[in-house]
């Protein structure tokens, strides 16, 4: 793997650029993705490289844009839609859920919707409750959608390229706090397979399963725990649907202790599914402690920085939760 370091945003931009060069049917639609360069600067100079037709600025019409992507995808294009904040997918749920996700199956299989929907989720920017949600559980619950959450710059590129290749609608949920973080990213148009979880650190005492920005927080917590003599495995789920449980089950079998970490509110969140899968499989017999979850509180994200920090898991919370977990039962 390369040791070239670029940011998560740059990796996404590079992926889009490479896909658009390779395939004229790939194009992008979104609000302020053109000369503005995107609300989070992700599309950057793509507008100047590919022009206004293929890097298409749109009015503030999320439902219309996503619907237009569905229609374009039905007749041979490969649209990439950027929704400025994942919170605004609420505006487009009909086209995402009732149209894009169902068309291939419901209409008999001839037509399909090779569409990619990119949206930044997560808190930590002081943007308050309507601009900070983590709604991945909604999409993972919808048959017909694939859902990925890249946690590194490399996967931001690799998962997006796989999503663009995929003949089905794929939701790519990026984390705002990761855009400016850097990591080694392969220059070639590499693919990260959709549907594969990744073991990003190995340890014999317990397993941390995380998504999005919680992956890097779990890794930092793991460092601190190592100093306390607790060796933890960290698994980056990467694809929420279809979900790859195998590495998770193996790690749980090996350690007997697991902590599931997500930023989203706990109640009926994604990690409930990981827990339920473990509890209904033979993994349950190798557990030495309850299956613990460390999640966001069931509270809208507040504006004040100290409040915002208080409602989602921070590194010290992860450390404490693992220490507790080691004391179980």
Partner 1 sequence: MSNKITPLVATGNQTLSSNPDAARAALAAMWAVRLFEEAVDSLFARGLMHGTMHLSIGQEASAIGACAALRESDFITSTHRGHGHCIGKGADLTRMMAELLAKQTGYCRGRGGSMHIADAATGNLGANGIVAGGIPIAAGAALAQKLQNKDNVVMCFFGDGATNEGAFHEAVNLAAIWDLPVVFVCENNKYGMSFSTEKSMKVDNVADRASAYGIPGVTVDGNDLDAVYAAAQEAVDRARRGEGPSIVENITYRWKGHSKSDKNLYRTKEEIEQWKNDDPIEQFQDKLESLGTLSRDEMTALAADVRDKIRIAIQEATTAPDSDPAELLASVFRQVNS
Ligand X SMILES: Cc1ncc(C[n+]2csc(CCOP(=O)(O)OP(=O)(O)O)c2C)c(N)n1
Binding site for ligand X (CB under 6 A): 31, 60, 62, 84, 88, 91
Rg (CA), the chain: 20
* Residues contacting residue 52 through CB under 8 Å, at least 6 positions apart: 34
Name the residue among 327, 176, 181 with its Cα closest to residue 259: 327
Residue 309 lies near a copy of itself (rule: CB under 8 A): no
Residue 323 lies near a copy of itself (rule: CB under 8 A): no
d(CA 70, CA 77): 9
Where helices occur in 82-212 by DSSP H, the ranges are 89-93, 101-106, 136-140, 153-165
Q: Which is nearer to partner 1, 76 or 329 (CB)?
A: 76
Residue 245 lies near a copy of itself (rule: CB under 8 A): no
Where helices occur in the chain by DSSP H, the ranges are 8-22, 46-54, 62-74, 89-93, 101-106, 136-140, 153-165, 213-227, 246-255, 270-280, 305-311, 315-327
Tokens of 7: 């940011």
Shortest separation between residue 123's beta carbon and ligand X, angstroms: 16
Residue 253 lies near a copy of itself (rule: CB under 8 A): no
Helix (H), strand (E) at residue 299: none
Residue 109 lies near a copy of itself (rule: CB under 8 A): no
CB contact at 8 A, 212 and 122: yes
Residue 131 known to be catalytic = yes
For 263, counting Cβ atoms within 10 Å of its Cβ (0-12 exposed, 13-18 middle, 19+ buried), the class is buried
Shortest separation between residue 248's beta carbon and a copy of itself, angstroms: 14
- Partner that binds at residue 264, options partner 1, ligand X, a copy of itself, none, CB closer than 5 to 8 Å by kind: a copy of itself
Tokens of 119: 């949206």
- Partner that binds at residue 305, options partner 1, ligand X, a copy of itself, none, CB closer than 5 to 8 Å by kind: partner 1
Binding marks (x or -) toward a copy of itself, 122..161, rule CB under 8 A?
------xxx------xx-xxxxx-----------------
d(CA 7, CA 157): 10
Q: Which is nearer to a copy of itself, 13 or 257 (CB)?
A: 257
Selecting among 131, 136, 273, 308, the annotated active-site residue is: 131
Instruction: Please count the residues of this chain forming the interface with a copy of itself, following the rule CB under 8 A.
Output: 55
Helix (H, G, I), strand (E, B) or coil at 285: helix
Q: Which is nearer to ligand X, 91 or 231 (CB)?
A: 91
Shortest separation between residue 197's beta carbon and a copy of itself, angstroms: 15
Residue 62 known to be catalytic = yes
Just list the catalytic residues. Answer: 62, 131
Site residues (vs a copy of itself, CB under 8 A):
87-88, 90-91, 93-94, 96-98, 101-102, 105-106, 128-130, 137-138, 140-144, 240-241, 243, 264-265, 267-273, 275-276, 278-282, 284-285, 287, 290-293, 297-300, 302, 329
């Amino acid at each position: 793997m390369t040791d070239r370091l670029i940011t998560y945003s740059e990796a996404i931009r590079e992926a889009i650029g490479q896909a658009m060069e390779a395939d004229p049917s790939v194009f992008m639609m979104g609000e302020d993705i053109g000369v503005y360069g995107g609300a989070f600067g992700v599309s950057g100079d793509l507008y100047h490289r590919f022009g206004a037709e293929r890097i298409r600025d749109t009015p503030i019409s999320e439902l219309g844009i996503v619907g237009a992507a569905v229609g374009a995808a039905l007749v041979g294009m490969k649209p990439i839609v950027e929704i400025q904040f994942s919170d605004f997918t609420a505006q487009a749920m009909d086209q995402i859920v009732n149209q894009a996700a169902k068309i291939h199956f419901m209409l008999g299989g001839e037509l399909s919707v090779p569409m990619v929907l990119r949206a930044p989720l997560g808190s930590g920017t002081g943007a308050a409750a309507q601009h900070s949600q983590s709604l991945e559980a909604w999409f993972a619950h919808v048959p017909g959608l694939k859902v990925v959450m890249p946690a590194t710059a490399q996967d931001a590129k690799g998962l997006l390229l796989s999503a663009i290749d995929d003949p089905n609608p794929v939701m790519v949920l990026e984390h705002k706090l990761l855009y400016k973080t850097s990591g080694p990213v392969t220059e070639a148009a590499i693919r990260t397979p959709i549907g594969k979880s990744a073991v990003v650190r190995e340890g014999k005492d317990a397993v941390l399963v995380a998504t999005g920005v919680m992956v890097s927080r779990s890794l930092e917590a793991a460092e601190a725990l190592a100093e306390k003599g607790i060796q933890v495995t960290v698994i980056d789920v990467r694809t929420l649907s279809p979900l790859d449980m195998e590495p998770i089950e193996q790690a749980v079998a090996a350690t007997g202790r697991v902590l599931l970490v997500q930023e989203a509110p706990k109640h009926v969140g994604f990690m409930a599914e990981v827990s339920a899968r473990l509890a209904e499989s033979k993994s349950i017999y190798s557990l030495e402690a309850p299956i613990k979850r460390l999640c966001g509180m069931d509270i809208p994200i507040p504006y004040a920085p100290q409040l915002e920090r208080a409602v989602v898991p921070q590194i010290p919370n992860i450390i404490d939760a693992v220490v507790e977990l080691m004391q179980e039962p």
